Amino acid sequence: MKTALLTTGFLASLLIAGCKTNMSATDTQDYGRQAVVPVQSEDSYYKTAQQRVKARAEARKAGSAKNVIIFIGDGMGISTITAGRIYAGQKQGMDGESYQLAMETFPNVALSKTYAHDGQVSDSAATAVAMVSGVKTDVATLGLNKNVSNGNCASAAGNEVQTIFEMAENAGLATGIVSTARITHATPASTFAKSASRNWENDRDLGRQADLGCADIASQLVDWPAGDGFEVAMGGGRRNFMTVDQADPELTDRTGGRNDGRDLTAEWSAKSDKHTVIFDQAGFDAIDFSTDVKVLGLFEPSHMQYELDRAGDVSGEPSLKDLTVAAIDRVSQEENGYVLMIEGGRIDHGHHAGNAKRALEDTYALDQAIAAALDKVDLSETLIIVTADHSHTLTIAGYPARGNPILGKAAAGIGTFLKGADGKPYTTLGYANGPGGACGADGCERADLSDVDTEANDFVQQALVPSGSETHAGEDVAIMSTGAGSERVGGVMEQNEIFFVMAQSLGLVD
């Protein structure tokens, strides 16, 4: 059983200071946890969100939670959920329009305002920080408040924030992170890293900033001082944990990315006889997640495979559903409760590539993971939240008939393609910008899609504005919640209120 440990280093100083000056004597009614006041408690964003969620909880008589699972569909905006619903239904031979995703069964729904402190349209770092710490911060920074200067290592000192994962660890709860992106990528890294740049994933990325004492994100995961550390951390990104002299365990023509000589996989394994590192499906299958093992899973040098391509991976890697089930099995071994983040990270990457099919397949994979979680947990003691960090410029347009393939050309009936003013057919799904932009150096002329298979895996949707990578969008995204304390979700919410939905439900903050 995990015990509440007082750690050394930065987090210990926070908690020691809290014991002297800012601890609350308020316990939760059901789980006996003592609320703390984190260092960011005087931040204006924090205080406003705290009061809004508290008022909503009182008005709705919201309950307490033993456990929290937050699912984040990276880039899963409203249009992605709608298209993903139709795609999932049609994929299973059902009516797509009336199909219901698992996430759509949640009773408490709200909109989330995703802007950053310095950005009308945000990135995954600032939005994730909002969700895990209760403050809005600057784009591309992690674990720091709005006073940080992006890319300036020296500006981090004194501007750190404490995350719900750190609070949970120090209260004796289990913690875990799962992502189909690199585990050092912005969203999962928000749970543990303090970095003036989300791009400092290994020591080579730091460059001269390393001389100022800043640590790279991968090393921060292994060196994380909160409690006794993560019970489970699984995703991609193993090159950031291995040295340039180490051959990749699967792809022998590649090596790690670290110059400092630290083999972080070996350091993780050396922590105790319970710590283990896995790299592939075989390693995953060999783990008994119903024990007290502490697992670091690194299944790719960079991001994990898109769900559409996963079957073609040479050594195999677990699905997001399987990772979710395993992570729940592991953290459930802690009788004090747990906090778990599950990210469908590659939804975002499919959109950036202008490739809606891969984005929607990964949305479906995330929903399957959500369904599996619903089957495993007791909602009377577990809060589940599904949300997105930000949206994308995906559009659903035209007047296609009911049942028209969501990835197909817009058609009023079988073979009756709708056409633009240029006399050419168009797809139901498109992007405001991206690699499929119609304009180029020679002017603007949209390709004729009449004989193009727009449902092919590699088809890139047409876009209005040409750009090498499609961009994020700034409209509100959905928050869907169910289970213990889920009544705290409702209305139009600031994104940083999500932190208080989780932390107040758990009794970790007032």
Of 401, 496, 397, 359, which is closest to residue 81 (Cα–Cα)?
359
CB atoms within 10 A of CB 471: 17
Give the span between the Cα atoms of 275 and 277, in whole angstroms.
Answer: 7
The Cα-based distances of 105 to 367, 385, 437 in angstroms read 11, 12, 36
Which stretches of 40-163 are DSSP H helices?
44-60, 78-91, 124-133
Q: How far apart are CA 331 and CA 344, in angstroms?
A: 19
Question: Quick check: is 112 catalytic?
Answer: no
Q: Which of 110, 38, 88 is nearest to 480 (CA)?
A: 110
Which residue's structure tokens are 């080579």?
204
Q: Are 260 and 205 in contact (CB under 8 A)?
A: no
Which residues have C-beta within 8 Å of that of residue 22, sequence separation ≥ 6? 36, 37, 41
Angstrom distances, CA of residue 412 to CA of 398, 400, 420, 481: 9, 5, 13, 36
Say which residues have a Cβ less than 8 Å from residue 202's Cβ, sequence separation at least 6. Answer: 184, 216, 217, 218, 219, 239, 240, 241, 257, 258
Encoding tokens for residue 210? 């390393």
Rounded CA-CA distance 265/272 in Å is: 13
What residues does 1 pair with on adjacent strands? Answer: none
**Given 41, 79, 124, 505, which residue is catalytic?**
124
Q: How far is CA 328 from CA 214, 226, 325, 331, 358, in A?
A: 33, 20, 5, 5, 26
**Residues 404, 409, 410, CA angle at the centre, nearest 5°?**
60
Helix, strand and coil percent figures for the chain, each rounded to 5: 35, 20, 45
List residues with catalytic annotation.
Answer: 124
